[in-house]
């Protein structure tokens, strides 16, 4: 019978493999597009959300430092949101987009699918962090 730590390791490997594949494939799409507008769409809607998930996975290596499942899941979310915001700011600087409040509504309209994908990733991170914590701590 497979113990819980082995299940947790398999979960982590699958998690990293899926999001690394997504990040690399969106990065390849971004590299192959020459039109700047579509290039930024690929970056905002694919590369940044999937790369932020990989950054939030760093927290999974420190699971033994947490005492509660909820605290672990919340800090995984905080890491994701911070990585996502930093990625958006860096992308805005790279594509020479204004980082002002007026442009916020334009970004939401233009890159709404990336924002929805990020919300979905937040839910996935929260649920999988709790599962991972339970598997490691049992």
Q: Does residue 44 register a pLDDT over 90?
A: no
Q: Which two tokens stand for residue 95?
A: 């594509």
Q: Does residue 21 register a pLDDT over 90?
A: yes
Distance (Å, whole) CA 100 – CA 23: 27
* Average pLDDT score over residue span 51-66: 88
Q: Does residue 83 register a pLDDT over 70?
A: yes
Q: How confident is the model at residue 113 (pLDDT cuts 50, 70, 90)?
A: confident
SS3 content of the chain, % helix, strand, coil (to 5): 90, 0, 10
* Average pLDDT score over residue span 68-86: 91
* Average pLDDT score over residue span 84-97: 82
Q: Does residue 78 register a pLDDT over 70?
A: yes
Residue whose token pair is 């490997």: 13
pLDDT of the residue at 16: 92
């Amino acid at each position: 019978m497979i113990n819980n730590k082995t299940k947790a390791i398999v979960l982590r490997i699958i998690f990293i493999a899926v999001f690394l594949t997504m990040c690399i494939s969106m990065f390849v799409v971004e590299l192959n597009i020459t039109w700047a507008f579509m290039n930024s769409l690929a970056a905002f809607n694919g590369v940044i959300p999937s790369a932020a998930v990989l950054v939030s996975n760093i927290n999974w290596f420190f699971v033994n430092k947490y005492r509660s499942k909820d605290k672990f899941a919340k800090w995984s979310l905080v890491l994701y949101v911070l990585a996502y915001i930093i990625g958006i700011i860096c992308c805005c600087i790279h594509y020479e987009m204004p980082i002002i409040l007026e442009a916020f509504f334009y970004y939401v309209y233009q890159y709404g699918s990336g924002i929805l994908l990020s919300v979905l990733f937040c839910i996935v991170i929260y649920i999988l962090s709790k599962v991972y914590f339970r598997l490691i701590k049992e």
